[in-house]
Chains A and B, each alone.
Chain A
């Protein structure tokens, strides 16, 4: 291995295609997800961003009629097919945060402890307390909720709920975090806090974020992939894509000449 060069990809997708029933939603997509970076997926509604994201942790398996072909790897190991990773273990390594904050109707503590309990990661008591605290700290929520861990997670503000969901994802010790429009239900301040959080999480996790906001993609990501009609049109350094995109289609989309 040479000392320098681009970081090795944390995940790869090759010839990835997804059908819903007869409809081809993703066609022959190749993409590397760089380790320790934030990759933003942008493109018009319905172009397949969420579909692609769900392929990375086999969430499409749960959608009736969805079929996935092609290859996805995590640290070089196949995600699909024979010898593929167990979906439950995969989802612990590749966590997901959704568009609408969706805490369970449980206490803040139990929301965060949910995954570790399910997976038997640690014992109740001091060990679990430590996991809950460090996850909430990583999600930038600890100071706001440390005095009310026993209250319902659903009682928090939208932005706090979303950070609770991020804490919940972090609690099981993932390597990759997928975020599907995590700020679309949030106000600008709550959005800024999530963006700041994404930036700080980058040191420990590989992040893939779907966003409708060009400015958000520009602010939080180092790599941007532009999807159009189920295909990847352009992938590049975010700075490059937003100052001098290589493809006219990308330029047309990000400058607001078509949508």
Chain B
């Protein structure tokens, strides 16, 4: 009688199925984009980075499809209860995944710039941060598609760790820049890349909260503790628009 069980009107299941399939594909693409962006950064692989930059439009078009499909289901089926939560969260999660795709593309773009500059040691630490955020994205999408609210909560809890690592890394890179002004240009790109990866964790966390809502019907009310102390360090906005 819950998510996944069939409706009397079969075409309703078909419509909901299209939404789920598109979201699964979109999530898979975003995962691949992010993994490739990290790999391109690590290996100074310009060709791969170029593919990531070019591949973002496929995520965007799936986002458009999901928007249209969700509006269609809302208009034609007037979904309620878990069906309503499925449609609304699909709409919102598609938006989050689309942002993850944008951020991954931005990482790739900046890695192309970095390739023109001398290598910086901290690149390795940043790509480790990237793999953590990638794992969060992967786990939260699995939790969503598998209807696993517990697993979603675990992902949400991991965001704090990601924030802490990001803050530490931020300080480390900053110190490095101060010690050797010649590294300022590559390091500032690296700072933005790290910030992008940290933001991806925030989007994964939002997806985790929506997954929880979709499955249980309960909104997670209490605010997460943000451990981002970088803004106070530099006077830079914590969430810069890139």
Question: Which residues of chain A come closer than 8 Å to B225, judged between CB atoms?
Answer: none
Q: Which residue of B lies closest to A250 (CB)?
A: B81
B217 contacts A by Cβ under 8 Å: yes
C-alpha gap A256/B76 in the complex (Å): 14
| Distance in angstroms between the alpha carbons of A249 and B78 in the assembled complex | 19
Taking a contact as CB atoms under 8 Å apart, the answer to whether B12 and A251 are in contact is no
Complex contact B2–A251 (CB within 8 A): yes
Q: Which residues of A contact B217 (CB under 8 A)?
A: 243-245
Contact of B84 with A243 in the complex, beta carbons under 8 Å: yes
Instruction: Check if A256 sits within 8 Å of B84, measured CB to CB.
Output: no
A19 to chain B, nearest CB (A): 29
A257 near B8 (CB under 8 angstroms)? yes
Supposing A243-B84, A243-B85, A244-B85 touch, asked if A257 and B5 sit within 8 A by C-beta, the answer is yes
Bound Cα distance from A168 to B81, whole angstroms: 37
Interface check A4, CB cutoff 8 A: no
User: Is A201 interfacial (CB 8 A cutoff)?
Assistant: no
Interface status of B31 (Cβ within 8 A of chain A): no
- Of all chain B residues, the one with the shortest Cβ separation from A243 is B84
Q: Is A86 an interface residue (CB 8 A)?
A: no
Partner of B7 from the list A214, A250, A256 (CB cut-off 8 Å) is A256
Separation of A88 and B12 alpha carbons in the complex (Å): 48
Inter-subunit contact B85/A258 (CB<8 Å): no
Neighbour of B8 across the interface among A218, A250, A254, A256, CB < 8 A: A256
B80 adjacent to A258 (CB under 8 Å): no
Please name all residues of chain A whose beta carbon is closer than 8 Å to the beta carbon of B6 when the two chains form the complex: 257
Instruction: Across the interface, name the chain B residue whose C-beta is closest to A252.
Output: B1
The reply to whether B78 and A251 form a contact with Cβ atoms under 8 Å apart is no
* Residues A248 and B1 in contact, CB atoms below 8 Å apart: yes
* Residues of B with C-beta under 8 A to A20: none
Question: Residues of B contacting A256 with CB < 8 Å?
Answer: 7-9, 12
Q: How many contacting A-B pairs (Cβ < 8 A)?
A: 50
Please determine whether B80 and A214 come into contact, CB atoms closer than 8 angstroms.
yes
Partner of A255, one of B80, B216, B218: B80
User: Which residues of the other chain, A, contact B8 by a CB distance below 8 angstroms?
Assistant: 256-259
Secondary structure class of chain A's binding surface, majority of residues: helix
Report whether A243 and B80 are in contact in the complex, using a CB–CB cutoff of 8 Å.
yes
Please classify the interface of chain B as helix (H, G, I), strand (E, B), loop, or mixed, using the class held by over half of its residues.
loop
Q: Is the beta-carbon distance between A255 and B79 smaller than 8 angstroms?
A: yes
Q: What is the chain A residue whose CB lies nearest that of B8?
A: A256
Residues of B within 8 A of A244 (CB): 81, 85, 216-218
Contacts of A215 on B, CB cut-off 8 Å? 78
Query: Which residues 235-255 of A have a CB within 8 angstroms of B?
Result: 242-245, 248-252, 254-255
- Looking at chain A, what size class is its interface with the partner chain? 10 to 19
A195 nearest CB across to chain B (Å): 15
Kindly name the residue among A249, A251, A254, A258 whose own CB sees the greatest number of chain B CB atoms within 10 A.
A251
Q: For the complex, is B60 an interface residue (Cβ under 8 Å from A)? A: no
CA distance A248 to B2 in the complex (A): 7
Chain A neighbourhood of B80, CB < 8 A: 214, 218, 242-243, 254-255
CB of B81 within 8 A of CB of A249, answer no
Pick the contact of A242: B7, B81, B218 (CB < 8 A): B81
Indicate whether A251 sits within 8 Å of B1 (C-beta atoms), given known contacts A257-B8, A259-B8. Answer: yes
Report whether B81 and A245 are in contact in the complex, using a CB–CB cutoff of 8 Å.
Answer: yes
Q: What is the bound-complex CA distance between A252 and B9, given in angstroms?
A: 13
Residues from chain B with Cβ under 8 Å of A245 in the complex: 81, 217
B139 at the interface (CB under 8 A from A): no
B9–A258 touching, CB < 8 Å: no
Cα-based distance from A245 to B85 in the complex (angstroms):
11
Cα–Cα distance between A254 and B80 once the two chains are bound (Å)? 7
* Interface of chain B residues 11 through 47 with chain A (CB within 8 A): 12
Which residues 66-104 in B have Cβ within 8 Å of A in the complex?
A: 78-85
Tell me, in angstroms, the Cα distance from A252 to B83 when the chains sit together.
Answer: 10
Interface residues of A (CB under 8 A from B): 214-215, 218, 242-245, 248-252, 254-259
Which residue numbers of B lie inside 8 Å of A, CB to CB?
1-2, 5-9, 12, 78-85, 216-218
What are 8 pairs between A and B in contact, CB < 8 Å? A242-B81, A243-B85, A244-B81, A249-B1, A251-B81, A254-B81, A257-B7, A258-B1
Q: Which 4 A-B pairs have the closest CB atoms?
A: A244-B217, A252-B1, A248-B1, A242-B80
